[in-house]
Amino acid sequence: MSRTESVARTNGTKASKAAKPNKVGAAAEWADDRLGLATLAKKNLRKVFPDHWSFMLGEIALWSFIVLLLTGVFLTLWFRPSMVEVVYDGSYSQLRGIKMSEAYASSLHLSFDVRGGLLMRQMHHWAAMVFIAAMMVHLLRVFFTGAFRKPRELNWVIGSLLLLLGTLEGFTGYSLPDDLLSGTGIRAADGFMKSMPVVGTYMSFFLFGGEFPGDSIIPRLYTIHVLLIPGILLALIGAHMLLLVYHKHTQWPGPGRTEQNVVGYPMLPVYMAKAGGFFFVVFGVLGLMGALLTINPVWRFGPYNPAEVTAGSQPDWYMGWPDGALRIMPNWETHLWNNWTLSWNVFLPIIVLPGLMFTIVMMLPFLEQWITGDKREHHLLERPRNAPSRTGLMVALMTFYAILWMAGGNDILAIKLKLSINQITYFNRAAVFIGPVIAFFITRRWCISLQRADNDKLLHGLESGVIMRDAQGGYTEKHIPLPVDKAYTLTARARDEVYVPDSEADENGVNAPGARLNKLRSRFSRLWYGDNIQKPTKAELEEGHHHAELEEAHDAPLEGHAADGHQFDGRHDIEDEHLSRQHD
């Protein structure tokens, strides 16, 4: 039904008259006359969003951030960021009469004596865990599909910053309740800071306002947690979304989808309905988790006491990987002169490694761009198999991460899998180096094989599983030609161009400027692209089609004499076909 038709039909026979002005409508009109929002909105509300489940991963992060803001504001109404010592006299009898900081007492108060307080605490914490996890899977989606390429590099950088800040925000939040785990975490952070040569001690004294623990760390972390980082997060999320709208969404290649357009649903109403619905789904799932699953049962840990520690002291999962690095790091220290200790065992895994990894992640788009020399704009996504080295690189990074994760949970793994914690450590020490390399090569090979399979489909069609026997007694398998739109989608990708430096030297034998770097670059580019399978050329495709025709011709005489079952070879209408011998 065309647009005009539908208008005509719904108009009916009577002349239309303006609807009775209702109050809301009138108010909206009043506002619009002054703000001119409607025109602005119309343009933006007609923005188009393509539909694919993986495009909603970022939304999980966005909606859980909203849940964090809502529940976090609730928590601030009762939480007291103070380290003043008080005697607990609330409902939880196991701690009644104990001296503790006001922060911890108010967390207990929130948990037991504020209606809905425990639910809010648990929702807040689950939302934090899901928020960062969602950012990470979103990052993976963006990387694996090549959505980070020009012109979206900057949004990748913003995204990485969001991940970093989210992690810091989570850590500061985890430290607020001032229970045994919080305190153990802050104590560890103090040690990490002090492992930095020269500046470490000064930084620690600066942060804690003197010797650890002092009495200002909780109020300071509180300001950072509820004001500073959320503010920056909000600003960055805003910039992230603006850039998204400005660049428009990427899309998968397919018939009708090009580098110049975006095919999908308009922002209003379809996309809004879906996204809005999704917000309630996220809210609902986090609500259920908060209601049913215990998280951070602060009352069981007891107040922080530097003399105590508990088995299972771990950070939240997003800090688990540096913790793992710390756990498998050999105990290296250097003693300079007499009273100078360089604690490599802490400094390397906790300060250097995360900084390095974060820089690498942030620089990935630029790294790839430099290697491939690809400066074109890309709005169509690439399937992970069509960028085998890129895919392999990320899988290698994921493997690295996963192994450090395992190392971070080594004690839990040991008791749950009945393993020796020592063996887990030895294994991880080796695996953290070997694992990523193996993962890289397996993934790359796997992608290349998938590319081959795609080319086979393009050139020979789909395997039908029907085996034909001809008069000579030879056997062939019938192939079904690939539907045109599928074939289009498979071929809608550019050929990889290995970077070749223009010329190494001019006619006088003088090296071109930067020649050495270019040579390195072309070597990387060859490694990056070298083994990829390119899509078939036009000639190859024609050859393939020709082959299919021959196959058809070859099969033609068998037509009608076909053995029972050949009617199901995919080339015939099978509406009324039966096997001639019915099985009963």
Q: Which of 146, 159, 170, 409 binds ligand HEM (CB under 6 A)?
A: 170
Burial 37-68 (b: 16+ CB within 10 A, else e): eeeeeeeeeebbbbeeebbbbbbbbbbbbebb
User: Six-digit token pair at 131?
Assistant: 């928020």
Asked if 160 and 358 count as a contact pair (C-beta separation under 8 A), the reply is: yes
187 residue type, one letter: R
- Is the preceding peptide bond at 384 cis, omega within 30 degrees of 0? no
Burial 402-413 (b: 16+ CB within 10 A, else e): bbbebbbbbeeb
* Residue 41 to residue 245: CA distance in whole angstroms: 13
Q: Which of residues 287-346 bind ligand HEM (CB under 6 A)?
A: 296, 298
Q: Which of 212, 317, 370, 568 binds another protein (CB under 8 A)?
A: 317
DSSP for 31-96, please give it: HHHHH-HHHHHHHHHT-EE---GGGGHHHHHHHHHHHHHHHHHHHHTT------EEE--SS-GGGT
Judged on CB neighbours under 10 Å (0-12, 13-18, 19+), 241 is middle
Residue whose CB is less far from ligand HEM, 68 or 351: 68
265 strand-pairing partners: 49
Among 370, 360, 357, 391, which residue's Cα sits nearest to residue 146?
391
Asked if 218 and 303 count as a contact pair (C-beta separation under 8 A), the reply is: no
Q: Which of 57, 62, 75, 134 binds ligand HEM (CB under 6 A)?
A: 75
The item of another protein, ligand HEM, none sharing an interface with residue 145, based on CB under 5 to 8 Å by kind, is none
User: Six-digit token pair at 88?
Assistant: 């607990």
111 lies in the binding site for another protein (CB under 8 A):
yes
The item of another protein, ligand HEM, none sharing an interface with residue 299, based on CB under 5 to 8 Å by kind, is another protein
The item of ligand HEM, another protein, none sharing an interface with residue 338, based on CB under 5 to 8 Å by kind, is none
What's the closest the beta carbon of residue 370 comes to ligand HEM, in angstroms?
33
Residue whose CB is less far from ligand HEM, 75 or 432: 75
The item of ligand HEM, another protein, none sharing an interface with residue 225, based on CB under 5 to 8 Å by kind, is ligand HEM
68 lies in the binding site for another protein (CB under 8 A):
no
User: Six-digit token pair at 286?
Assistant: 């986090």
Choose one: 36-44, 121-129, 374-382, 490-498; the region binding ligand HEM (CB under 6 A).
121-129
The item of ligand HEM, another protein, none sharing an interface with residue 96, based on CB under 5 to 8 Å by kind, is another protein
Q: Which of 226, 394, 407, 448 binds ligand HEM (CB under 6 A)?
A: 226
Choose one: 161-169, 282-290, 440-448, 550-558; the region binding another protein (CB under 8 A).
282-290
Q: Which of 414, 487, 498, 548 binds another protein (CB under 8 A)?
A: 414
* Residue 546 to residue 357: CA distance in whole angstroms: 51
Count of residues near ligand HEM by CB under 6 A: 26
Residue whose CB is less far from ligand HEM, 120 or 387: 120
Q: Which of 1, 18, 336, 484 binds another protein (CB under 8 A)?
A: 1
118 lies in the binding site for another protein (CB under 8 A):
yes
The item of ligand HEM, another protein, none sharing an interface with residue 107, based on CB under 5 to 8 Å by kind, is ligand HEM
73 lies in the binding site for ligand HEM (CB under 6 A):
yes
Q: Which of 56, 82, 118, 124 binds ligand HEM (CB under 6 A)?
A: 124
Q: Which of residues 10-39 bind another protein (CB under 8 A)?
A: none
Residue whose CB is less far from another protein, 303 or 388: 303
* Residue 194 to residue 216: CA distance in whole angstroms: 18
The item of ligand HEM, another protein, none sharing an interface with residue 307, based on CB under 5 to 8 Å by kind, is another protein
What's the closest the beta carbon of residue 412 comes to another protein, in angstroms?
4
E strand or H helix at 390: helix 388-408
What's the closest the beta carbon of residue 126 comes to another protein, in angstroms?
7
157 lies in the binding site for another protein (CB under 8 A):
no
* Residue 524 to residue 533: CA distance in whole angstroms: 17
DSSP for 195-242, please give it: TSTTHHHHHHHHHHTSSSSTTTHHHHHHHIIIIIHHHHHHHHHHHHHH
45 lies in the binding site for another protein (CB under 8 A):
no
Q: Which of 146, 177, 349, 409 binds another protein (CB under 8 A)?
A: 409
Asked if 131 and 64 count as a contact pair (C-beta separation under 8 A), the reply is: yes
User: Six-digit token pair at 379?
Assistant: 């709005």
Mind spelling out the 3-state secondary structure of 493-557? CCCCCCCCCCCCECCCCCECCCHHHHHHHHHHHHHHHCCCCCCCCHHHHHHHHHHHHHHHHHHHH
Q: Which of 45, 69, 267, 450 binds ligand HEM (CB under 6 A)?
A: 69
Q: Which of residues 189-228 bind another protein (CB under 8 A)?
A: none
The item of ligand HEM, another protein, none sharing an interface with residue 312, based on CB under 5 to 8 Å by kind, is another protein
Q: What is the largest CA-CA distance in the chain?
A: 99
Choose one: 55-63, 72-80, 306-314, 472-480; the region binding ligand HEM (CB under 6 A).
72-80
Q: Is the dihedral of CA 249, 255, 261, 264 positive or negative?
A: negative
Judged on CB neighbours under 10 Å (0-12, 13-18, 19+), 269 is exposed
435 lies in the binding site for ligand HEM (CB under 6 A):
no
169 lies in the binding site for ligand HEM (CB under 6 A):
yes
Among 5, 112, 17, 128, which residue's Cα sits nearest to residue 67?
128
Q: Which residues bind ligand HEM (CB under 6 A)?
A: 68-69, 72-73, 75-76, 79, 107, 110, 121, 124-125, 128, 131, 166, 169-170, 173-174, 176-177, 225-226, 230, 296, 298
